[in-house]
Amino acid sequence: MKPIILLFSLALFVPLGARAMELPITSGPYAGTMDSLTNYSCPKWFRDAKFGIWAHWGPQAVPEEGDWYARKMYQQGSKNYEDHLTRWGHPSTNGWKDIIPLWKAEKWDPEKLMAVYKKAGAQYFVSMGSHHDDFFLWNSPLHKWNSVNYGPHRDVVGEWQKAAKHNGMPFGVSEHLGASFWWFQTSHGADTNGPFAGVPYDGADSNNWDLYHFPAEPGDKSWYSNNPRWQQQWYNEIKELVDDYHPDLLYSDGGVAFANEVGLSQIANLYNDSIHRNHGKQMAVYNCKQVSGGRWVQDYERGGGSTIDLYPWQNDTSIGDWFYNKHWKYQPLSWTVRMLVDITSKNGNLLLNVVLRPDGTLDPEAETMLHDLADWTAANGEAIYGSRPWLIYGEGSAKMQKSGSFNDTKVQYSAKDIRFTTKGKTLYAIALGWPQENKLIIHALANTTDATINKIKRVELLGYRGKLKFTQTADGLAVELPGKKISDLTCSLRITGSNLKPVPLQ
């Protein structure tokens, strides 16, 4: 994953005609233009799903040192460089190409894992397709550096997809390839001091450029390269992925690729491909980190929105590092659950990376988290899946100060923070903790001078069969909860009544 979010002005979508790009698109109503994509509507399956699990997994799990290892091992003085030098030798002779075969995934059982993910509450699944290390996890005729030829000698994308479909879950693929052309240029360098000073790394050898790419032109240092040769390569390879695997979701790690019709044409190809496969109905989702205007689903990396968004959106985040990191501690279950509730109340989805070990298994802590999450979703999923935002997302002091990325660990929730979702005429109020003294007050549902507003008929606690007593005053709806705590994580109420509208909070 990248450390900053790149948002591109729509003014940057300029023609590439002079470059003679070949951008074939599956026939259909969508074309590689912003205007054409305004006809897109996010499919219901994604809006209903709310929660997906992601396997951000590949050969960079092998060192067990976390994200971006394949780049940083070529940066003298970095921790990853020193780690690689100690364990595998100098990157002039023993480079990333020599680590890839060590990824065996020898205990990976996608069917078993998918069943666990589904039971935990995931409604869709996303596989890594290719990270910035230019290693493909699908069977690619265009690129020999793939998981069928090296490492596991298995079609990782294909097997994940089969398991997802067997469990009735929409299947997505993430591509991080667009930034690899810049990202992997460190492999072309050399040490600046020490016994190997001036000795080129193995990326400088033209025989290895099918993995590390050829040298970038001077000044070509942006997240997305401006080199038309690389743009064409990216288009061909990602189109192969879409045309051969037909994912329900395609995720790009950045804005619309290359900020021109190369990226727009790829989106159009995905949408048209979906129409062909679904009897004329568009069912695909494209995620990228750029304001969408409804043309795709905007994604925030480790972040989210501060209020209800008009268009569906997604937060992609991880319980730990992006790739397996033996030094990291996992986030607690409370973090995942409360974030999911908050995101759902604001018209978003949560895509959660559950970190896999190099061999394809889960740490015991991750298994326990998924088991406990299954218990929570079994009791509270009614308030999440298939829901839509209310007129306000919630009440309480905990909130994102502004929409953005890298802020999903900065908010501390309590039982006084309440989030709302709806299904038809039913309103759900979810407190992000169990209230003290077993009493929950919802200020937004206070009595008003208009007796027709907020007429509450029934209040029920999800996961509890008994009746609840409640009173309604000018201060709010006060609900008496059971004497025994149902959950440390949340308190989810089902509220039925008529003309439910939020009272302005003081």
- Looking at the domain covering 10-301, what would its CATH class be? alpha beta
CA distances from residue 157 to 36, 247, 250, 305 in whole angstroms, order as listed: 30, 10, 12, 30
Q: What is the pLDDT of residue 7?
A: 39
* pLDDT, tens only, 456-483: 999 999 999 999 999 999 999 999 999 9
- Which residue shows structure tokens 């005053």? 473
| Common-topology check for domains 10-301 and 394-498 | no
Higher pLDDT, 138 or 304: 138
Q: What is the pLDDT of residue 117?
A: 98
Rg of the chain (C-alpha set): 24
pTM score of the predicted model? 0.95
Q: From CA 462, how far away is CA 459, in angstroms rounded? A: 10
- Which residue shows structure tokens 């937004």? 444
Instruction: Detail the DSSP E strand segments found in 19-176.
Output: 51-55, 124-130, 171-175
Q: H/E/C letters for each residue in 342-380?
A: HHHHCCEEEEEECCCCCCCCCCHHHHHHHHHHHHHHHHH
- Which residue shows structure tokens 């067997």? 166
CB 439, CB 481: distance < 8 Å: yes
CB 477, CB 436: distance < 8 Å: no
Is the pLDDT at 4 greater than 50? The verdict is no
* pLDDT, tens only, 61-75: 999 999 999 999 999
Q: From CA 41, how far away is CA 66, in angstroms rounded? A: 36
pLDDT band at 504, cuts 50/70/90? confident
Q: What is the pLDDT of residue 8?
A: 37
Q: What is the pLDDT of residue 406?
A: 81
Is the pLDDT at 3 greater than 50? The verdict is no
Q: What is the pLDDT of residue 404?
A: 84
> What distance, in Å, lies between the first and last C-alpha atoms of the chain?
41
**Nearest to 162, CA basis, from 107, 121, 105, 113:** 113
Q: From CA 442, how far away is CA 428, in angstroms rounded? A: 11
Average pLDDT on 285-301 reads 97
Average pLDDT on 295-313 reads 95
- Which residue shows structure tokens 């159009």? 268
Is the pLDDT at 48 greater than 90? The verdict is yes
Is the pLDDT at 200 greater than 90? The verdict is yes
**Nearest to 289, CA basis, from 404, 133, 407:** 404
Q: What is the pLDDT of residue 400?
A: 67
Q: In this structure, which amino acid lies at residue 449?
A: T
Angle at 64 between CA 195 and CA 115, to 5 degrees: 160
* pLDDT, tens only, 154-176: 999 999 999 999 999 999 999 99
Q: What is the pLDDT of residue 409?
A: 83
Average pLDDT on 364-373 reads 98
Q: From CA 410, how far away is CA 187, in angstroms rounded? A: 35
Average pLDDT on 301-307 reads 91
CATH superfamily of 394-498: Golgi alpha-mannosidase II (2.60.40.1180)
Mean pLDDT over all residues of the chain? 94
* pLDDT, tens only, 231-282: 999 999 999 999 999 999 999 999 999 999 999 999 999 999 999 999 999 9
Q: How would you classify the pairing of strands 124-130 and 171-175?
A: parallel
Q: Is 473 exposed, middle or buried (0-12, 13-18, 19+ CB in 10 A)?
A: exposed
Is the pLDDT at 451 greater than 90? The verdict is no
Q: From CA 466, how far away is CA 470, in angstroms rounded? A: 13
Is the pLDDT at 14 greater than 70? The verdict is no
Is the pLDDT at 55 greater than 90? The verdict is yes
Q: What is the pLDDT of residue 16?
A: 44
CA distances from residue 220 to 84, 181, 433, 476 in whole angstroms, order as listed: 27, 9, 49, 58
Q: What is the pLDDT of residue 414?
A: 93
- Which residue shows structure tokens 């394949």? 70
Q: What is the pLDDT of residue 13?
A: 41
Domain ranges of the chain: 10-301, 394-498
Average pLDDT on 483-495 reads 95
* pLDDT, tens only, 212-241: 999 999 999 999 999 999 999 999 999 999
Is the pLDDT at 371 greater than 50? The verdict is yes
Q: How would you classify the pairing of strands 297-301 and 285-288?
A: parallel
* pLDDT, tens only, 393-443: 999 987 766 778 888 888 889 999 999 999 999 999 999 999 989 999 999
Instruction: Detail the DSSP E strand segments found in 387-465.
Output: 394-395, 418-423, 426-431, 439-442, 455-461
**DSSP assigned state of 160:** H
Question: Which helix or strand (DSSP H or E) is residue 235 part of?
Answer: helix 228-245
